[in-house]
């Protein structure tokens, strides 16, 4: 008799569903019989400017060494990060995307039967990695779509190993103030890790927005993650990092696969980190796009969740099916992101694009809703 391998899979994996990425451009181009250049993808919060020229040049230089293993310690990138962030190299863990760091922290601390605490509507990866190791994921009801840190504190029990805080959160774009975060960190038990995901840190201008890295000295249980996938425009290369105490970084580095970040990613991330002009322009483009889209939503009478990231979730009109709006946009070559799997079935998330991409999206949306 044939073996039923799904019966043999560990319990946490059996009930998992794969992470749903945004629809790829080439796939939609094939389906519609269009050129890839006719497709507008605003579905994965990527940087619409394209990569930094400095990053491309760094990759070109690196090609001659393609036959060599990358620097497994990431010495140069860690040195640049430590200078820019004012931390020590021993505090940094490099990841194949910052998602890698989420996986490391779970594998270091979470056993079968333990749990992790997240917010309702939070980024989906936390629950996925926790369930892989047989842990429960306790989702705490959100408050106005944002993290209710008080309630999350209340959900911590003796089996809780990690609390995930996404600031700002994806897909809601909501954020927690410094005072709230500090009050929370002061009350989280010392033996519970707080993973503060700051994937969109660079985009946030609000005065009360906390910089998690500045809090590390006071909170030895804190791990802050950031990424090169968003404002630094390197999503495809898969590179991100965690910053923590040297002790936590040492533990995470024990489970980190050797050479998890390749030499192109290391070189490009280093160049992008030094290309401050590129990041400034990316942020300015995002600010203008966010203003444009929110005004357009206002004009169309659509409500939305105010966002400080490079994306925004808007609500389709009452009686309209968000999946039909999504399909209607697809037919016009515009890819946005359904968020029903985030318990937001009446919403769609759109990433801020270039000026012309934003205009194409709004025109297509008007057409679908007409």
Contact footprint for ligand PLP (CB under 6 A): 45, 97-99, 123, 166, 170, 197, 199, 227, 229-230, 235, 240
Least separation, in Å, of the C-beta of 26 and ligand PLP? 19
Tokens of 111: 């056993």
Residue 160 CB burial class (10 angstroms; 0-12, 13-18, ≥19): buried
Nearer to ligand PLP, 232 or 361 (CB): 232
Least separation, in Å, of the C-beta of 242 and ligand PLP? 11
Nearer to ligand PLP, 234 or 362 (CB): 234
Nearer to ligand PLP, 199 or 213 (CB): 199
Least separation, in Å, of the C-beta of 119 and ligand PLP? 11
Nearer to ligand PLP, 62 or 197 (CB): 197
Q: Give dist(CA 149, CA 157) in Å, integer.
A: 15
Are the C-beta atoms of 67 and 287 separated by less than 8 Å? Answer: no
Least separation, in Å, of the C-beta of 302 and ligand PLP? 23
Residue 12 CB burial class (10 angstroms; 0-12, 13-18, ≥19): middle
Nearer to ligand PLP, 197 or 275 (CB): 197
Q: Give dist(CA 118, CA 113) in Å, integer.
A: 16
Least separation, in Å, of the C-beta of 261 and ligand PLP? 11
Least separation, in Å, of the C-beta of 167 and ligand PLP? 9
Least separation, in Å, of the C-beta of 358 and ligand PLP? 20
Nearer to ligand PLP, 23 or 230 (CB): 230
Least separation, in Å, of the C-beta of 308 and ligand PLP? 13
- CB closest to ligand PLP, residue no: 97
Nearer to ligand PLP, 233 or 333 (CB): 233
Nearer to ligand PLP, 240 or 333 (CB): 240
Nearer to ligand PLP, 117 or 296 (CB): 117
Least separation, in Å, of the C-beta of 99 and ligand PLP? 3
């Amino acid at each position: 008799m044939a073996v039923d391998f799904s019966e043999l899979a560990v319990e946490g994996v059996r009930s998992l569903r794969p992470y749903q990425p945004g629809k790829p451009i080439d796939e939609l181009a094939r389906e519609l019989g269009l050129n890839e250049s006719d497709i507008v993808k605003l579905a994965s919060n990527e940087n619409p400017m394209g990569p930094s020229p400095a990053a491309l040049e760094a990759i070109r230089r690196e090609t001659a060494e393609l036959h060599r293993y990358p620097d497994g310690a990431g010495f140069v990138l860690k040195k640049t990060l430590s200078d820019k962030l004012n931390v020590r190299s021993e505090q940094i863990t490099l990841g194949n995307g910052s998602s890698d760091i989420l996986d490391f922290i779970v594998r270091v601390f979470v056993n079968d039967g333990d749990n992790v605490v997240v917010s309702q509507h939070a980024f989906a990866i936390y629950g996925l990695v926790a369930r892989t190791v047989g842990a429960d994921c306790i989702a705490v009801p959100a408050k106005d779509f944002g993290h209710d840190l008080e309630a999350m504190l209340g959900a911590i029990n003796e089996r809780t190993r990690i609390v995930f805080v996404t600031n700002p959160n994806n897909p809601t774009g909501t954020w927690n103030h410094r005072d709230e975060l500090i009050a929370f960190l002061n009350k989280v038990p010392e033996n519970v890790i707080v993973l503060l995901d700051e994937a969109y840190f660079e985009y946030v201008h609000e005065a009360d927005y906390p910089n998690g890295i500045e809090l590390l000295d006071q909170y030895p249980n804190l791990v802050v993650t950031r990424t090169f996938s968003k404002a630094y425009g390197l999503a495809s290369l898969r590179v991100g990092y965690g910053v923590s105490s040297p002790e936590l970084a040492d533990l995470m580095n024990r489970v980190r696969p050797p050479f998890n970040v390749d030499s192109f990613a290391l070189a490009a991330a280093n160049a992008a980190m030094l290309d401050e002009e590129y990041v400034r322009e990316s942020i300015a483009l995002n600010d203008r796009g966010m203003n444009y889209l929110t005004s357009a939503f206002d004009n169309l009478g659509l409500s939305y969740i105010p966002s400080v990231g490079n994306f925004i979730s808007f609500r389709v009109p009452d009686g309209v099916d968000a999946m039909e709006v999504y399909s209607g946009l697809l037919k016009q070559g515009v890819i946005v992101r359904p968020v029903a799997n985030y318990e937001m079935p009446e919403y769609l998330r759109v990433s801020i694009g270039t000026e012309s991409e934003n205009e194409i999206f709004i025109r297509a949306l008007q057409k679908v809703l007409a």
